[in-house]
Structure 1
């Protein structure tokens, strides 16, 4: 306790007497001081400790009136600062005086500033007490002291300041349990330093700090002593650099001396890696830790790996070259002991508010086996090119250009990728598109180039170019400025669509050769739809329509039967071929609602059924018969030896129907849902969907002699309990087939073998669901996701995100969410289709049934096991499977990734820090067993 607060009456009265004598002697000086100058602010060191014996006259600014040259000090006072007499000493038992009257300060009679005054205001506060000792020229703050000076903010349990030396000292305190409380924290700009003791000089703006922990980006520097220069450069003694945020970190790089240049770099001399306080044999002659924000060129360190086929190697090493705010280049390479190598160039470009994009050009040579043993030796040269480009929508309103290109050799993924998603995907596709819409006009233009490639079959399809021009629906009979209900002919709308396409299909071995252009197909399609609607009743609408179209081709296919070799030959004939088509029709649509109510005691209150039937009458003349001919597919003169085919099978836009159609089209869509009682809903009822949609559609041709009824399409879709997504489609052919698989004009239900609506030609069923336990941080993660989506991401950040996703796919065990105890995703698909073979001689049925599943669960809060696999029911084998085991070690993470069987068996174990700045400091052991 302080002397003034001790319970000693004799000593108290003796001190009180001395205090009254001192006040009596100094009272004339105090009165004189108040008469000549203003109150001093407690929150300013330079004014409070100023020499006030020699007044100084401050020159008056031009154009300043006497009223403008004065100000009220009360308006400048903060809640934690009050004016007090210069000789007062505040103790825990003192009461602070208050200011009741407004005091006017005359700026022309300000006191002269002393030589040791500061050049900026210092504000301070403390929770417990503030003690000033004028004879010692010292200033004390107790409990939660807080001081601000320029861009420096210092907090601590206790502080003291000496005016003679200009040194402010901040320190912590020890509580009754022996724990340190209120450690000093110094914030200078963006730099934060936490320590036991801080000594800061206001004169030299230097600081000496003891037992400190400073934060630099993702890293922390622990030092026994540091010296801080006026430019914030730091020199440390006995230091440790780590990315672990604990006071006693799990690991650190220990160095005797370091130098920190804020926002640039941390440099140290010889450093030793220490784990759990135990030094390791790993020494480095020097260490450089960049803490720079923004673009900087530099070396990208490689990763050590061991590959069963390629040998010992170094991967992903290279150089990053920053070429300014609009361009940069990343170069990475890989080299292996068996002679394989790879090189990747990744330039990116950007212009803010205009466009951004990037290339990825990769070449690789893979050598497997011994060159002397030819049957086991293979040498593959591969390449892959990707390009992405996007345009800011605000750069040129109405105009857009985008590119997403991905092509390469068929074996590139086989030898140069390791994640299961890339290996299982045997399709590569590209698209480059330009679109233009005219403001205030109904015109739209799109021009694109497309590419698709199957790496398994080595089939390549290139569309160059593809264009479409559309004119939106116009109403030529509609009058301008006419109010009221329009007449029926004013609702007639006319539109125009033009599509053009040039397509080439070939094997990838023919790329750039003459055979690439041999099978090129060119086509142009015109369509002019005319439509309008007429309401017949309140619930029924009639919609007549007329459609006219033409298809223009420059080549047709002629097939002939080679009886000598018993095969079909194909030839192409050039020219100009004009195909016409036309249709007229009218359709009726309505909706019918049905409701069934249950009793009061039933939990289900209502079931609602909605039916939406559609009926249409259509007529299309026979414009397509002349484009068909009978092709002999076998020897003999029987009907089975011939097949009806078209000259334009496989053309860009197909062939019009070979017969007239005049009939009825029909369809029925249904929706089924119910309402159940619920206390959670404000209405007392909750809506539950039973079937989102189910129904059928088809047509009946009245003008043909046979095959009048079309195939019937059935469909259904629902989401059960908002958890299980189910969808199914099926096409049923209502006619019978003979023993050779040919269609006959007899309905299926007339077969005499029980009721049969027809033959299934294709069926698709898919189901998916997902289950997971609760996530305590779900709201926080959702907010972070929204912040990322709303934040404008630079192109460099987008490239970094893409590389991060690639790392996630390649090493799933390193990127797991320990906040979710378990998770399970299931997906099931069933596909069946029947079609004729390419020689038209028989039917073929393709049947696929597949179940995929992936999930993970936590053995403990720090151990996670995951699996991604599936099962092929047709081939009766397990699909490509990956497993991982991950261990959260606070600032480090261990992961084991395993591909247990298949053509690409693999095992890897990785231990690495979580921080991105140390992502290359990893211990990795990989084994790959590739069956070729």
Structure 2
């Protein structure tokens, strides 16, 4: 008994002097050690005798009670625990245990309670535990370190409502639930009412069983792409789910539920890949029927994830009448180097049946390639490509695209170029370019394969590099430019056929411009230049008279030939400022007028040495021609000219009192009255008649805070015309008319506005196909519909994520945001006394938010000359949160069309949709 009492006394003496924080650490060290079969006290140093464990209860035993601890984070390891629970002279070695092998951090707002008998630790209110890659937060956390188990649950607030739901994170996997029970050793867990994100899916399950780090089993689960997981607008309900995070989801019998109403749409089982990396897979087609091609399967194929830098999608269409389409699309990118995409399309379109009079067949293709290089990759060399070439009727006849904006555009253009800069002295620049231009109306094609350009940087022969370039002599500079072309002119039907290459023409032009500039009388800027050009050709023309046929034969001679030309030009100009002050007490305080007059002179001699004569007919009449006719860089001129050019540029600004500011000292505002008002004409001193050129006047300005743009132009001819409409060498005023005769005039007006003051409505149609084809990026010609890509929406991403503002409700909208665009064009023609308006049309487009989730748009116009409505389109779209629904309708015209679409926005479930449309009636060419 004596030894026992002494041992107890020793134990108490050792515990009492410990600081409060150390006392807590000792208690927590018990939790962090796997349960042991016994406990040890410290020895009495003086005797060195171990104190035996008591066999009977002791009334003086210390009882643990909940203790309020400060908000702090404790980090303990086994090494620290050992140093606090025993000293080096301990005669009893502890049993080897499988304790925690990493730092554990714990925190709770109210208290942390340690029960040594039950071997549990309780953290209450805003409890948090961090262990390895595990992060756990909850209202209450109970850790049973005898079983290596952790329980996390909710707590009730003062109103009796549950709060602080458990939050569990391991690696990238996050789970929110009502309660969580897991084992820290086996990694197994049970979760009630779990909520987690798996890629684009959000999953909520009644019961979740975590088998290990990579496999979960879910019971009575709902999965959706809705952002509101507690009250989703739709979900798929599955009885059983096997989930491998980041890899796959396998579900049993599943049916679709919309607004908590089960639908008959169900599947017996399904597999969803959840890989974070791109994976190859099947692209499901869309089923439907068309006007004249029968039933179809569209946009079905296979997606190939070829690597981290590029991919490939092969899709196709098939119609029951034999029509089909094939497409290949690939995107590639290497960060900080280059990026691009390739799009190849081919369609074989058949109408009616072979042998019937209305049978038609067309083969259309489209080749698109876009490549851009990062400017930081190589500043001295650059490669870029923008290819848009194909059949002239592709956009008008395609069965997989309704793109009126691209169809109305008459030009397809392409360019592929490589440029390099040689850092020499002087610097040398070189570029190699292949271009393509195609008129879809005439089906003519112009190509350069390739164009070579080279230039030597400007050289100042009479001034050193670091010397200021002042005066006539020191400002003299020269350059060298080289341009070589291999040009092909052909038609759509001959594209890439042998005849196309036989008709190619080639040529090279060298030019050396020499120029200088200086000032005279301080206020006048003078520039003078001369240019020498040498042109090499490889095909020349020869004309001979055939007496037997009484006709002129034109033949082509192959071989090298060249001609040389030169010219001289100079100009003088200045700037004149004029200000008209009306007083600071006036609304318009002043008007500023800036004039920039310029006079130029150009001399071009005659190059008669390159002209020959040939017999025109049997009567002995002769004509003149040059063998360089039809050259790539023109032909040498036979007549010389001495032209004097006159130009005047005007700008008008007003200084207006600023009534918007409260302060009387507010600065006045500058208002642009006319951005520019330009007048230009010329006089040829070498001409024996019609020496004056028509006067051209152009101008432009803006109104209403730059919302309205106005541009105008007119051509005034000083000469009269005869009854045949030809210009005669008689001034119009001397022929009984006015000083000038207006031969043409044009006015364009563009106006855009939104319901938000100070902003312009820009439209939201950024369809890449329309932009690539050179069409308008706004929606004045409607929005394009790519049947293989339903991602285009009238809503911005900010619109769909935006919370309702004041005055906006779910079923009505008090503010009704809107935007409007207007374009008007007028052209007047009077070159031959026709005195008529050749074109006058107005185009309108706009969008309005009926509710925060409903948008309506329209595009239309009216032609005042043809007296008819232009292309008209009506658009309706409903944002259904996780779904999108739209309806497009072209009610009349050559492009009559309607289409309805409803589907899930998420790319994972993009195949869950309903798509019905009636494409325009196609008229195929032969």
TM-score (norm 1): 0.81
Is 1:586 aligned to 2:565, yes or no? Answer: no
Match of 1:263 in 2: 246
Deviation (angstroms), 1:226: 0.4
Partners of 1:631 and 1:901 in 2: CA distance: 59
Size of the aligned set, in residue pairs, is 839
- Contact in 1 for aligned 2:168/2:175 (Cα 8 Å): yes
8 Å contact 2:330–2:342 — kept in the other structure? Answer: yes
Equivalent position SS for 1:708: coil
Quick check: 1:882 aligned with 2:873? yes
In the other structure, the counterpart of 2:99 is 117
Alpha-carbon displacement from aligned partner over 1:338-391 (angstroms, at most 9, x marks no partner):
22111112344454544444433322221211334x212222233322233333
Could you say which residue in structure 2 is the equivalent of 1:839? none
Consecutive unaligned residues of structure 2, counting only runs of 5 or more, are 1-7, 43-61, 74-78, 87-93, 767-782, 803-815
Q: Give unmatched runs, 5+ long, in structure 1.
A: 1-22, 57-85, 100-104, 786-803, 837-841
| SS of structure 1 residue aligned to 2:908 | helix
For the structure 1 residues 717 and 267, does the alpha-carbon distance in structure 2 shift closer, same or farther, using more than 3 Å as the test? same
Q: Write the distance in 1 (CA, Å) between the matches of 2:558 and 2:482.
A: 22
Q: Distance in 1 between matches of 2:830 and 2:281?
A: 59
- Please name the residue that 2:3 is paired with: none
Moved more, 46-55 or 533-542: 46-55
1:475 aligns with 2:423: no
Deviation sequence 1:772-808 (CA, Å, 0-9, x none): 2239999xx99xx9xxxxxxxxxxxxxxxxxx99759
In structure 1, the residue matched to 2:165 is 183
Query: Match for 1:430 among 414, 424, 428?
Result: 414
- Taking the aligned partners of 1:586 and 1:603, their CA distance within structure 2 comes to 44
2:433 to 426, 429, 448: 448
Distance 1:599 1:810, change over 3 A: farther
Query: Is the aligned partner of 1:227 residue 2:209?
Result: yes
2:326 aligns to what?
343
* Secondary structure, counterpart of 2:919 in structure 1: strand
Q: Which residue of 1 aligns with 2:275?
A: 292
Q: Which of 111, 117, 125 is 1:135 aligned to?
A: 117
Deviation at 1:929, TM superposition (A): 4.1
2 CA distance for matches of 1:773 and 1:550? 60
> Is the Cα–Cα contact under 8 Å of residues 675 and 685 in structure 1 kept in the other structure?
yes
Q: Aligned in 2, Cα 1:42/1:187: closer, same or farther, shift over 3 Å?
A: farther
What CA distance in whole angstroms lies between the structure 2 residues aligned with 1:43 and 1:656? Answer: 100
Correspondence for 2:895 among 904, 915, 929:
904
Q: Secondary structure at the match of 2:500?
A: helix
Report 1:4-83 matches (<5 A). 27-31=12-16, 40=25, 47=32
Using the TM superposition, name which of 305-314 and 657-666 deviates more.
657-666
Equivalent-residue separation in structure 2 for 1:275 and 1:748 (angstroms): 78
Question: Equivalent residue for 1:677?
Answer: 657
- Do residues 192 (structure 1) and 135 (structure 2) align? no
Structure 1 residues 348, 887: CA separation in 2 closer, same or farther (over 3 Å shift)?
closer
Distance in 2 of aligned mates of 1:232 and 1:775: 55
Question: Does residue 823 of the first structure (1) align with residue 823 of the second (2)?
Answer: no
- 1:191-340 → structure 2 map (5 Å cutoff): 191-246=173-228, 247-340=230-323
Determine whether 1:919 maps to 2:903: no
Give a deviation string over 1:416-456, Cα, whole Å, max 9, x none.
33232333234322222121111244211111111122233
Quote the Cα distance in structure 1 between the aligned partners of 2:684 and 2:21. Answer: 112
After TM superposition, the structure 1 stretch with the greater mean CA deviation from structure 2, 30-39 or 533-542, is: 30-39
CA contact (8 A) 2:199 2:274 kept: yes
Asked if structure 2 preserves the Cα contact closer than 8 Å seen for 1:811 and 1:897, the reply is no
- For the residue of structure 2 that corresponds to 1:453, the secondary structure is strand
**Residues 41 and 48 of structure 1 are in contact (CA less than 8 Å); yes or no, is this contact kept in structure 2?**
no
Aligned to 2:140: 158
Task: Go from structure 1 to structure 2 and tell me whether the alpha carbon gap of 1:617 and 1:359 turns closer, same or farther (over 3 Å shift).
Answer: closer
Does the CA contact (< 8 Å) of 1:735 and 1:759 recur in 2? no
Residue 405 in structure 1 maps to residue 387 in structure 2: yes
In structure 1, what is the equivalent of residue 56 of structure 2? none
Q: Is the 8 A contact 1:208 1:228 kept in 2?
A: yes
**CA separation of 1:53 and 1:758: change in aligned 2, threshold 3 A:** same
Partner of 2:45: none
Alignment partners' CA distance in 2, 1:882 and 1:360 = 28
Matches within 5 A, 1:253-652: 253-372=236-355, 374-413=356-395, 414-416=397-399, 417-440=401-424, 441-479=426-464, 486=470, 488-513=472-497, 515-517=499-501, 519-555=503-539, 578-623=562-607, 651-652=631-632
Contact map agreement 2:402 2:785 (CA 8 A) in 1: no
What is the Cα deviation at residue 846 of structure 1? Answer: 10
Tell me which residue corresponds to 1:77: none
Q: Give RMSD over aligned pairs.
A: 4.2
Q: Give secondary structure in 1 for the equivalent of 2:357.
A: helix
CA distance in 1, matches of 2:428, 2:872: 51
Question: Contact 2:837–2:865 (CA<8 Å) still a contact in 1?
Answer: no
- Confirm or deny: 8 A CA contact 1:320 1:330 kept in the other structure: yes
CA distance in 1, matches of 2:912, 2:634: 59
Secondary structure of 1:916's counterpart equals coil
CA distance in 1, matches of 2:701, 2:264: 62
